[in-house]
């Protein structure tokens, strides 16, 4: 519904805007009292207040919602949020969260404990990492043991935006990126539509654009976004991986999701250059392409840039790209995908698998994490 989209856009715009000190102080005080009442834990209340004071209203409100459903008030509420709230939480906060969750081994609590264990293992000092990885595996084994038979995947809903809205969103994105002097190009499904249909894909759900990582400036982008009335920030996904024999954590910016005021979302993927290839990714995935130059394309009457050799790029991403596929998932439908060594993303797949997702169960089996109903971390 149009009013709901507008409400979401304005809410996100407010939450991600800059707030003056009196408002930040007021919300910090309210957040502190609410979390203290909900959890009885000073450290968690203090950390929520810190998020409000740091002007991260969106994260702070997410945490408030989570504490409302997992604290004592949760006995009156049926929903249990499945997202991870431990990111950027200090060590004392992680300890308090751990003590709060140890009282139950219900499926939703196990999932929350798994996210917490992922954070501990990733942040652990090298000499403590093996112990923390083992703790993660023990909880993951309990989650994996409760994975049911897969349910039929529900079809994704048709896009809630029209072609004129998609066109307006892409034009607005062009104005934003030009004002920031950041060259961009269309990628993924948006590029596929431009080459195969000359239009936005009728079954697509957002607009995908790419920027070479060396052309992107994080602070300049966020500053430009704050003063652009056409867009608001939805979230930032970092690419996170564990590399080397000691599984050293590596984290780099990867994906910026923004929303146009029409409700159309635009995914901006940073494309990193390595050994003659470009890769882009997210917290879960990484996709590789032969390094490419940009060339002009006509997309529904708009002249945009895209990978110059369309055949190579689309074959790498989709295999038989000329045959339309409406039942598509980026985790299983792209030949050039690889999965990060990321404990949080594995926890997400386990959460979805426990909810009956056939795609999540397929990924866990194919990547070797779940074998005969048992969880294994094959690379640890």
Q: Lowest mean pLDDT: which of 11-25, 175-189, 317-331, 336-350? A: 317-331
Do 207 and 305 belong to one domain? yes
> Domain limits at 196?
163-326
Token duo for residue 58:
């969106």
Domain boundary among 86, 103, 120: 103
Q: Does a structural domain hold residue 84? A: yes
What are the start-end ranges of the H helices in the chain? 2-15, 21-39, 42-53, 57-70, 91-101, 107-123, 129-144, 163-179, 188-196, 218-226, 310-318, 343-354, 358-366
CB 357 within 8 A of CB 128: no
Do 268 and 170 belong to one domain? yes
For the chain, the farthest-separated pair of C-alpha atoms sits apart, in whole angstroms, at: 59
Do 178 and 287 belong to one domain? yes
On the question of pLDDT at 160 being above 80, the answer is: no
Domain boundary among 85, 103, 121: 103
Q: Does a structural domain hold residue 36? A: yes
More confident residue, 253 or 4: 253
Query: Phi/psi of residue 15, each to 5°?
Result: -65, -30
Token duo for residue 186:
């269309």
Q: Does a structural domain hold residue 291? A: yes
Q: Which pLDDT value is given to residue 168? A: 94
Q: Does a structural domain hold residue 158? A: no
- Give the model confidence (pLDDT) of 111-135 as tens digits: 999 999 999 999 899 889 999 999 9
Q: Which pLDDT value is given to residue 157? A: 59
CB 45 within 8 A of CB 33: yes
Partnered with residue 288 across adjacent β-strands are 279
From the number of C-beta atoms within 10 Å of its C-beta (0-12, 13-18, 19+), residue 266 rates as buried
- Give the model confidence (pLDDT) of 300-329 as tens digits: 999 999 999 999 999 999 999 998 877 778
CB contact set of 56 (below 8 Å; sequence gap of 6+): none
- How many domains would you assign to the chain? 2
Q: Which pLDDT value is given to residue 154? A: 66
177: CATH? 3.30.460
Provide mean pLDDT across the span 10-21. 93
> What confidence category does residue 103 fall into, taking pLDDT thresholds of 50, 70 and 90?
confident
Q: Which pLDDT value is given to residue 79? A: 84
Q: What is d(CA 272, CA 288) in angstroms, rounded to the nearest whole number?
A: 10
């Amino acid at each position: 519904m149009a009013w709901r989209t507008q409400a979401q856009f304005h809410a996100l715009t407010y939450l991600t805007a800059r707030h003056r000190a009196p408002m930040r102080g007021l919300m910090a005080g309210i957040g502190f009292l609410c979390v203290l009442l909900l959890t009885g834990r000073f450290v968690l209340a203090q950390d929520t207040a810190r998020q409000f004071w740091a002007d991260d209203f969106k994260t702070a409100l997410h945490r408030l919602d989570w504490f409302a459903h997992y604290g004592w008030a949760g006995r009156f509420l049926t929903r249990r949020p499945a997202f991870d709230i431990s990111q950027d939480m200090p060590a004392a906060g992680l300890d308090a969260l751990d003590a709060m969750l140890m009282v139950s081994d219900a499926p939703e609590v196990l999932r929350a404990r798994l996210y917490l264990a992922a954070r501990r293992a990733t942040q652990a000092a090298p000499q403590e990492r093996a112990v923390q990885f083992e703790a993660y595996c023990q909880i993951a084994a309990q989650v994996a043991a409760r994975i049911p038979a897969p349910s039929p995947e529900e079809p994704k809903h048709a896009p809630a935006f029209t072609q004129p809205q998609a066109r307006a969103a892409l034009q607005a994105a062009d104005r934003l990126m030009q004002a920031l002097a950041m060259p961009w190009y269309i990628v993924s499904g948006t590029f596929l539509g431009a080459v195969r249909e000359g239009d936005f894909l009728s079954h697509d759900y957002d607009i995908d654009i790419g920027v070479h990582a060396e052309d992107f400036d994080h602070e300049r982008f966020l500053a430009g976004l704050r003063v652009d009335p056409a867009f608001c920030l939805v979230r930032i996904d970092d690419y996170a991986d564990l590399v080397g024999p000691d599984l050293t954590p590596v984290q780099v910016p990867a994906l910026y999701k923004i929303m146009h005021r029409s409700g159309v979302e635009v995914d901006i993927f940073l494309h990193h250059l390595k050994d003659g290839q470009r890769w882009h990714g997210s917290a879960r995935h990484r996709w590789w392409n032969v390094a490419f130059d940009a060339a002009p394309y006509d997309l529904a009457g708009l002249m945009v840039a895209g990978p110059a050799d369309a055949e190579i790029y689309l074959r790498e991403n989709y295999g038989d790209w000329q045959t339309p596929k409406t039942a598509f998932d980026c985790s299983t439908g792209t030949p050039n995908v690889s999965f990060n060594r990321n404990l949080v993303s594995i926890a997400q797949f386990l959460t979805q698998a426990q909810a009956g997702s056939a795609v999540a169960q397929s990924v866990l089996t194919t990547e070797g994490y779940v074998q005969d109903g048992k969880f294994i971390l094959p690379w640890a």
